[in-house]
Chains A and B, each alone.
Chain A
Amino acid sequence: MSKLTYAQFVDPEVILLKLRGLEIKEEEFPEILNLVDEIFRIRLLSLILSELEEGDKIHFLKLVDLDSGVEVVDFVKTKVVNIEDKIQIIVQEVHNQVLEDISDLEF
């Protein structure tokens, strides 16, 4: 299974347990988890872009594109207030939303 960025922040075991409850085949789990990961990544990028001023967005994209990790984070930390808290909220929101999606299928 490919590396999940989402799983670096939170244990996806709760989601896996839910999936097992749905009796989805184990070999289909990676596809679901990869989609969850994709959603998490888009939400994260969307969050940063929404917090940046128009002129800063392109600069941010350029830094990400250059793969200059520390500079990206320094820039984001300077421009976005309480970035850590906001990321945690996104992680939790995505997590809860997926659990809800799965719960909806249980009935």
Chain B
Amino acid sequence: MSKKRTFLKLKKKLLLRQRDLLNELEEKHQETSQWLKDHKKDLSSLSRDFAETAATSAATGILLLASGSIPLKPATLETDNPIVVSQTTSTSQVSSSEDVSEVLAEKLEKQVPGKVRDLNEQEKADLEKIISETTGVAVKSNLEGYQLNTNYGYIGGEQHLYRFAGDNLIRHVKNAREWLMFGRSGIAPNRGAWGYFPNEDFERYYVAVQTFLSPNWRSNPKATYDWFRFRKVMVINPKSGQAVVTVVGDAGPADWTGKHYGGSPEVMHYLGLGIGPRKGAVLMFFVDDKEGRIPLGPVSDKFFQGSEPL
């Protein structure tokens, strides 16, 4: 059977099922159908509204959908290629990052171009120095010969990504507050470019970068793909100075979107870009962290104050 025919056959089957269900619903619940008709409402949008309410309620614990047919979260996260992470501290416990942000914003204001564009080598070097000295984390635009396609570009909000087989959105939030901040972005129907995540923090603080536009890609796509996998990068909102240490967890966005990077709902929140258009200009540099000492999450002075760049 040709690809097109298979697709059409499946589509037809699902459309028939959908139509039968709608007919059945209308026949069985005539009082309801009449009310919808009288109020000029359609069944499709009403069902969508209710399904979203159910999903929200499940996430916030109002509906307890933690058992039964939905597979339970495995004790250890399953991944295609497990990697060892020497990460002992979660920065989500850190409450304040105001001081370092303020200092960083002040220093970056004079250095970062007003309009988003490629940075020249001198600008990159100057920014590396400022960011490394202010945050205490050594950052580089060129690490082990690899580079991003740009270090200054637009980031857009992404959805959550599946972390393991059987994962679902509800498992990504702990309470109603987190749902409001991070749950509403939803979860993407596909896995990230490197498959499932080796731990929860990697998905929580992931970014998407255009690996396919990296200068290294053309000469060796396979090695570049492998090198970028869960590579640590720091993202900085130059206007506010808010900075987050993240990992590269997905490839994208597409070139035509006009955006250069994507950020998880948590990353966008900690960059101060979690509301409104969920888009903004950011700086992005590799974190030089051979020993795996730099924790993921928002950069806080409590971790890095007064220390030499790690």
Interface residue ranges, A against B (CB under 8 Å): 1, 3-13, 16, 22-25, 28-33, 35-36, 38-46, 48-50, 54, 57-58, 61, 64-65, 67, 69-70, 72-74, 77, 83-85, 87-89, 91-92, 97-98, 101-102, 104-105
Contacts and interface: CB of A to CB of B under 8 A. Distances in A.
Interface of B: 1, 3, 6-7, 9-11, 13-15, 17-18, 21-22, 24-25, 28-29, 31-32, 35-36, 39, 41, 43-44, 46-59, 62-65, 67-70, 159, 162, 165-170, 186-191
Contacts of B6: 22-24, 105
Instruction: Identify whether the interface residues of B are mostly helix, strand, loop, or mixed.
Output: helix
Contact of B63 (A57, A73, A89): A73
B35 A22 contact: no
B25 A49 contact: yes
Contacts of B65: 9, 84, 87-88
Contact of B11 (A25, A32, A70, A91): A32
Contacts of B22: 42
9 contacts: A5-B52, A9-B65, A9-B70, A40-B51, A42-B47, A49-B29, A57-B29, A61-B35, A101-B13
Contacts of B170: 8-9
Given A4-B189, A58-B35, A72-B50, A28 B7 contact: yes
Contacts of A28: 7
Contact of A11 (B18, B21, B41, B166): B166
Nearest to B183: A8
A25 B3 contact: yes
Instruction: Identify whether the interface residues of A are mostly helix, strand, loop, or mixed.
Output: helix
B32 A41 contact: no
B21 A24 contact: no
Contacts of A30: 189
A72 B170 CA distance: 19
A39 B25 contact: no
Given A16-B190, A54-B31, 19 more contacts: A8-B168, A9-B55, A10-B168, A13-B191, A29-B189, A39-B14, A39-B21, A41-B48, A42-B25, A49-B25, A50-B28, A50-B29, A57-B32, A69-B56, A87-B65, A91-B70, A92-B70, A101-B13, A101-B17
A74 B53 CA distance: 11
Contacts of A31: 11
